[in-house]
Structure 1
């Protein structure tokens, strides 16, 4: 066990000798032995022993020590008010953090101040705004296996599904589930949503979580079908009506149990108010265990997540499938390399949203492009309407700038973590809704009309907050000044009493100055001594007899009178009662607002959708995008036509961009693309894929015209990478990805292949590339773009019925290569590798030597080639008088081959090449 986790052994050995405070710390560490316990001591969160050494190292803090009757302990602390940044660093280092707060005020107990873990902070269950990205979800995932009994009767369910995924954003309440028949399909869904954390059930594959996802051990009992059914029923009623398989029930039930455990602990605000421990609640019949499954389930706290009101089941087959490789290759959310520039990803280009709600909606659309033309056209209709009506769009976006993050606001309100400012933020957001409704009113678009109808202004909630909460409340909710005058008669009376007393105090100074003749006399207040009359030392002889000495200072004395003491008790008593009454009223108002969680979440959905549509319309209008023509595959025929297509990301980062066309159908579905490096092959392929993806998202696209039938899946094998940790070379990674494509792609897939086979010898690479091309053409039938430097592959355009060759034009001017970045029919005449090296600044001696070797004149070696020689340059063969290749030169090449160094595959490849030269 990590020394930072669990009870310090030195304490365990002498548990009975510990001081009460250190005994508290020991017991909490024992109970939360899977987390670093941050233990509140006054204004600091402290750690001790091994945990102190770990936190000091990770957070680069000074390691101090604490000494008591049982010995000296290492100690490290962080300020309570600034703990969030330190917690974030611990999470990034791979630790869970248990927050042990003081749950009673010092002085309220005769013994040690009571402390309890109010929450366990893990990467996937964050709710703190300062630790979360505002424009994306933060999911925790659960993966569960079924028991082989089949699916439920839910329409769309897969009867053979035996593995399920549940995804929960604890901060927003977004709750999704799906299932599949294979782990690979679930792995694709996990990579689509990139959860921060995952819990994995028994019998479920443990290797489906992405590399940066924390896998948390959790009690196997939480995945029990009966227990999972009961907890789901406690939230949503009959779970069989919501999900499609037993595996989905297990995954959803387990993730709810986990979220309840992590968010469990002390009820209340964490605002310094008096709170009580939430005791174990097993009313739903579900026993809870700690993360490691070793704690007594009957002692585990749980907190019901009241704001979880919706569970959305989706079928992954209803969306364009993008696996982790495709998401990374197409740079949808993260750049593949550090570009040193903004807008280096597709989401950066598209995101013109005005709210966090819109940002998350847009990202969800990018993760799950649509398949049905009707659904796609529904979005496109709204985007087109907003694109053509800039005045309406501007009015909507202006109003959306005042929209706060409703999903996280209502989550905090429901968890009783919201303060008065949060309620005012909700009120201010609701105040924008009428203006947004007015802006949409009369727009001739069914989608926008439906959104307008869903924009519930929640007038009753807004009026409640307006009447109850002051316009600019303080951050703290226990110190008064948050409830508006006139809302509560009892509070108004207490305030009036306090105000009258304070007015008497204000008048007292003038009266006493006049009565005593001491012009420098002051009436003041502090929290220790209360109200006092201060007289400087030179004026002490003028002090009246009814003054009672309260405090002696160096240069003055402080006094009190019987009437002042009476008024002080009256004022402070009224203020204290007013503060308590305000807190009671606030909690009541907050609970009333929380009861409208479903309405608020529905409003958030509508606002997020409208914001995302406006963002797509803004991009389309400002960047000259066109509406794609999305057609159903009634006859099963794939079609993709692009005129003047542009790469949406690259065109934003360059001064100019050369548009290119692309036309593909069932009879022309395999494009073999050649051209030198830097000519634009990879950019072109990604541009085609991104145009397809955008069209299926329901966005306009960067082109003059686009027509397509939707694709079910998009595969990419673009760029070189290795897996050092997994012990896999670049070539092995490439082969793994290719195996997936060849196994899973079909006639409804779009496949991008870039430089397949370059990770091994030229001969082997050419053989593999040819075999893959033939297999995709003959067996898979996917629409494929294959960029290659293996020029012999271009001959397949004449041999395979649905294959055709394209290349990027390149010219030479004054010995320098010039890239036209324009794709044209036919094969490239050369790779211009030496010229590209020159343009890249390779030293001249190296370039000249390379040119000699490429021309075959180095050291008189002629056409001699080893198996590893790059075949990107065509073999130079003299032309005979009839225009054909001279057989004598083929014979010379045969004599030059070093058969002892060739593998059987390389020998066959060379033989095939030479035979085709003769033919």
Structure 2
């Protein structure tokens, strides 16, 4: 963002010489010096001077100029009717936008029409539907530490989050910076304000940090602000720091709405005057603080991150919950995409929140599962509910606009149409069995009084504009009906006037017409001017005709226009009254929205379960085992919920993780399914804790407190970190924060350095996770010597993905089985990937040479025919290792004369001529182990 968005220096120097309109612009720029001011001039929002040059360049619009007594200066403008698309571009460029609207009509006061900033638009405080994604929240955050902090990491940090468009308001705190960083990643705010002693490095790069008055974070001031929204903040929140961030965040939300001194008018109530200084009706603000209070923010939820399954930024990305990792490919290949069959925006946001914050307590999870199971089994009810919910508008944002006095008549009709389906939704739930659905049935308030108010007061198909009449239904207000009747009677008189005057004058071509400049007139063509009566008064001369008016016509015109103007004014006031009365019911509307959102999310989960053959998971209570771990994950026929939708076929696999066997070392070739398998286990666990059925034939598990992932390779070029350094940073976090209730996924740890270093790191990590952390772990690796740990570590075991050799090719069956893989088949994978034949053949030669050096055994023996492919047993192209690499040969530890008789007998019995190289090496490795016992 440009460092100085305030008024240009030359303008500031000449302020007293500026025209009244430009003085207004200067003062608003000075007051909102951190934003780009868009200043209403007629039908356009204008920027001037340097701001105009920046705006024209960014928006690719024409740069013009304006001249007055102080000189000529640049000007650029955008049409008000299409402002949102331009504002979106400014936001993406890093600007905050202060919208200065005309807040009075011309002639209401002498001089230039008054303008005021009615809203400051920033990435985190959007309320315009055109700029918001309907299926997710848009949060602005406040972050602060203890103002008396010593600067140590154990000092408390507090985080508040607010969605200005819906009123969702959350707060938490922790003495661990990492916990707050995880929560920031979980909610992904678009913008943040930062208070005392708060490290900004906890915020993602995509989050705009906005400077804001630090005094708003002071305890007393924050508490005063918060007390306008929340009763007894001290009892609800856990600390003074939480009060500080919540109060400051509300102050910021009030600021972007437009200050009390600035005035308030709805975005749908603006239109232009003919000379740039005119406006239609505005809403002047009172000077009380009530004018800036956001009435629709009625609930503050204080939560503890430990109440939910914790997912840090790495896990959110690795598991592809909301964003796909692949640069190319399907954009909808995420977990939320495959689960989201919601019918309305409310349900879509609720489902995303459940995925963002899976539950921990089996009782709460089972309550959701009971509802999903009942809806899944009752097809007719589920489909009826889905059809009804499709008619539900976004009540949370609707009531927000209504409370902010930015809703038009169509918004009120949308609320009415939503309320109209609530009785049918209640009827569909009347015979529900489970407690959760019965509770929703009770909470579905039809708001009959609000619906009747809208139905009786607003026409069924109102215009968008609310200041030009035609929105209040006939019969709602007696005075309005009288004014309309007067206007109708006058227009009927005028409709009859043409026939009467033709008959009276004998001029058959005489016409009665109207335009906005000259009003009503009688038009007579030039050849008939001699027949014009004496009482006709000339009003306008045209090329081929003259226009006249009579005293009686002028009287009727005044009567009609006066009645219409008074009707429009009265109708507008009636609309505002209806809107205010609905705003008074904000909490009831929000409670209904909450119930509908929950129901829609449950119906979506049930629909997915029914369509894709998901099963209900069994949730177990935590029971600490002998080794300190209480996790149990048993999955029969598990499937990856995303991958199975994107591929023609998918091979299900089981998972068996218990306190006695909690560390699985998984080997197998690339492309065999190791990463997919690990992710599917984690996603099935996560889905179960969301309260969803899972893609499996059966699942039984203990809720997991946290999921850690180290999956996939990436670097941080901007941060100066290599792929290996990123990997080590993520591993350090896992080793420091994981415990016996964590699920850890590790994929190819140690691959970014030398083989010896990588193997050493991988083994040390495995031992630490087993011995000291006790976490349930899935470790996929090409370091085949790690499989020996399955024998050495009490709770470790080996799994591998099976591969079948067919001549020079390999076939991946994607089936997981006990034990270690015989190799990584790297060269075979290179062949499948389309690596040129000459490179593949050279790779085969090199791996044969390496195998012979390391094992001391010639791999070119046999029957003298074509050499078998040894690449499945030796170092692969992606860094895999031979099961015998770095291990001593048989002769290093035992003389031939000392070989036990049973081992010697087995050696003699080997038919070496018919063994493949991999089988020969496997036998040598097995016999070596017998010698070591």
TM over 0.5: yes
Aligned equivalent of 2:209, options 202, 215, 221: 215
Kindly provide the CA deviation profile for residues 345-366 of structure 1, in whole angstroms up to 9, marking residues without a partner as x.
0000000001111001000100
Give the corresponding residue for 1:617.
606
**Match of residue 469 from structure 1:** 458
- C-alpha change, 1:444 and 1:210, in structure 2 (3 Å) is same
Structure 1 segment 668-687 matched on structure 2, within 5 A: 668-687=661-680
Q: What are the superposed Cα offsets for residues 757-781 of structure 1, whole Å, 9 maximum, x if unpaired?
A: 1122222111111111110011000
CA contact (8 A) 2:750 2:761 kept: yes
Q: Counterparts of 2:577 and 2:743 in 1: how far apart (Å)?
A: 56
Deviation string for 1:671-702 (max 9, x for gaps)? 11111111111111110000000000000000
Q: 1:401 aligns with which of 390, 400, 413?
A: 390
Take 1:918 and 1:6, find their aligned partners in 2: how far apart are those partners?
A: 83
CA contact (8 A) 1:225 1:246 kept: yes
Tell me whether 6-15 or 587-596 shows the greater mean CA deviation.
6-15
Maintained 8 Å contact 2:307/2:359: yes
Of the structure 1 ranges 113-122 and 609-618, higher mean CA displacement relative to structure 2 is found in 113-122
SS in structure 2 at match of 1:95: coil
Q: 1:180 to 1:860 in 2, by over 3 A?
A: closer
Asked whether the equivalents of residues 145 and 162 of structure 1 are also in contact (C-alpha less than 8 Å), the reply is yes
Name the counterpart of 1:910.
none
Write out per-residue CA displacement over residues 50-108 of structure 1, whole angstroms, 9 at most, x where no aligned residue: 22222222222233333333333232221111110111111111110111112233455
Q: Which residue of 2 aligns with 1:45?
A: 45
Asked if 1:714 corresponds to 2:707, the answer is yes
The residue that corresponds to 2:914 in the other structure is: none
Question: Is 1:607 the counterpart of 2:615 in the alignment?
Answer: no
Kindly indicate whether residue 874 of structure 2 is the aligned counterpart of residue 885 of structure 1.
no
CA contact (8 A) 1:878 1:886 kept: no
Match of residue 186 from structure 2:
192
Q: Which moved more, 1:536-545 or 1:95-104?
A: 536-545
Question: Counterpart of 1:704?
Answer: 697
Gaps of 5+ in 1: 151-159, 284-301, 891-914
Cα distance in 1 for residues equivalent to 2:886 and 2:212: 71
Among 643, 652, 658, the residue aligned to 2:636: 643
Task: Specify which of 142, 162, 171 is matched with residue 168 of structure 1.
Answer: 162
SS of match in other structure, 2:202 = coil
Residues 732-781 of structure 1, C-alpha deviation per residue, up to 9 Å, x if partnerless?
11111111100000000000011111122222111111111110011000
The residue aligned with 1:381 is: 370
Match of 2:903 in 1: none
2:528 equivalent to 1:539: yes
The alpha-carbon distance between structure 1 residues 68 and 680, as it changes in their structure 2 partners (threshold 3 A), is: same
1:372 maps onto 2:366 in alignment: no
Relative distance call for 1:843 and 1:603 in structure 2 (3 A) is same
Tell me whether 744-753 or 535-544 shows the greater mean CA deviation.
Answer: 535-544
Task: Say what the alpha-carbon RMSD is for the aligned residues.
Answer: 2.7
Q: Which residue number corresponds to residue 154 of structure 1?
A: none
Partner residue of 2:787? 794
1:663 partner SS? strand
Give yes or no for contact 1:343–1:652 (8 Å, CA) kept in 2.
no
Partner of 1:853: 846
Q: In 1, Cα distance between the equivalents of 2:509 and 2:433?
A: 75
Paired with 2:49 and 2:852, the residues of 1 have a C-alpha distance of 71
Distance change in 2, residues 1:515/1:917 (3 Å): farther
Shift in alpha-carbon separation, 1:488–1:277, aligned structure 2, 3 A? closer
Alignment deviations for residues 640-679 of structure 1 (CA, whole Å, 9 cap, x no partner): 0000000000111100000000000111111111111111
Contact 2:146 2:196 in 1 (8 A): no
Q: For residue 906 of structure 1, what is the aligned residue in structure 2?
A: none
CA 1:493–1:376: 2 relative to 1, 3 Å: same
Cα displacement string for residues 523-574 of structure 1 (whole angstroms, at most 9, x for unaligned residues): 1111111111112222222222211111111222111111111100000000
**Mapped pair 1:23 → 2:28:** no
* Counterpart contact for 1:885–1:917, Cα < 8 Å: no
Residue in structure 2 matched with residue 815 of structure 1 by the alignment: 808
Question: d(CA) in 1 for partners of 2:126 and 2:577?
Answer: 26
- Counterpart secondary structure, 1:750: strand
The match for 1:66 is: 66
SS at match of 1:137: coil
Distance 2:61 2:613 in 1: 53
Residues 499 and 670 of structure 1: is their aligned pair in 2 closer, same or farther, counting only changes over 3 Å?
same
The 1-side partners of 2:790 and 2:385 are apart by: 52
Q: 1:537 to 1:869 in 2, by over 3 A?
A: closer
8 Å CA contact retained: 2:662, 2:777: yes
CA separation in 1, counterparts of 2:616 and 2:367? 12
Distance in 1, Cα, partners of 2:505 & 2:522:
12
Q: Distance in 2 between matches of 1:184 and 1:489?
A: 64
C-alpha distance 415-917 of structure 1, shift in aligned 2 (>3 A)? farther
CA distance 1:532–1:691, shift in 2 (3 Å): same
1:418 and 2:424 matched: no
In 2, distance between residues paired with 1:608 and 1:178?
23
1:439-454 → structure 2 map (5 Å cutoff): 439-454=428-443
2:228 alignment partner, SS class: helix
Task: Report deviation, 1:30.
Answer: 1.2
| Greater than 6 Å deviation, 4+ residue runs | 857-864, 866-870, 875-880, 915-918
How far does residue 43 in structure 1 lie from its aligned partner after superposition?
1.6
Query: Residue 656 and residue 889 in structure 1: after superposition, are their counterparts in 2 closer, same or farther (change >3 A)?
Result: farther
- Does the Cα contact within 8 Å between 1:451 and 1:610 map onto a contact in 2? yes
Q: In 1, Cα distance between the equivalents of 2:522 and 2:703?
A: 83
Say if 1:139 and 1:196, in contact at 8 Å, map to a contact too.
yes
Deviations, residues 312-333 of structure 1 (Å, cap 9, x unaligned): 1111111000111101111101
The 1:871–1:567 alpha-carbon spacing in structure 2 relative to 1, beyond 3 Å, is closer
Q: Which moved more, 1:254-263 or 1:110-119?
A: 110-119
The alignment's TM-score, normalised by the length of structure 2, stands at 0.89
Change (3 A) 1:496 1:828: same
Report if aligned partners of 1:6, 1:34 keep a CA contact under 8 Å in 2. Answer: yes
Q: How does 1:627-776 map to 2 (within 5 A)?
A: 627-635=616-624, 637-776=630-769
The total of aligned residue pairs comes to 868
* 1:128-139 alignment runs, 5 A limit: 128-139=128-139
> Paired residue for 2:266, among 261, 269, 274?
269
1:588 aligns with 2:585: no
Distance in 1 of aligned mates of 2:632 and 2:853: 52
Equivalent residue, structure 2, for 1:509: 498
Change (3 A) 1:60 1:878: closer
Question: Residue 5 and residue 261 in structure 1: after superposition, are their counterparts in 2 closer, same or farther (change >3 A)?
Answer: same
Q: Distance in 1 between matches of 2:196 and 2:157?
A: 11
1:874 matched to 2:882: yes
SS of residue in 1 equivalent to 2:348:
helix
Q: Note the C-alpha offset of 1:600.
A: 0.4
Deviation, structure 1 residue 39? 1.4
Summarize the alignment of residues 171-570 of structure 1 with structure 2, pairs less than 5 Å apart.
171-264=165-258, 265-270=262-267, 271-272=269-270, 273-275=280-282, 278=285, 281=288, 303-341=292-330, 343-570=332-559
Contact 1:763/1:867 (8 A) holds in 2: no
Tell me, in whole angstroms, the C-alpha distance in 2 between the residues paired with 1:772 and 1:50: 58
1: CA distance, partners of 2:181 / 2:37:
33
Report if aligned partners of 2:102, 2:116 keep a CA contact under 8 Å in 1: yes
Q: Contact (CA 8 Å) 2:149, 2:197: kept in 1 or not?
A: no
Bigger shift: residues 66-75 or 562-571: 66-75
SS at match of 1:734: helix
**What secondary structure sits across from 1:23 in the alignment?**
helix
Deviates more, 1:138-147 or 1:364-373: 138-147
| 2:157–2:173 contact (8 Å) kept in structure 1 | yes
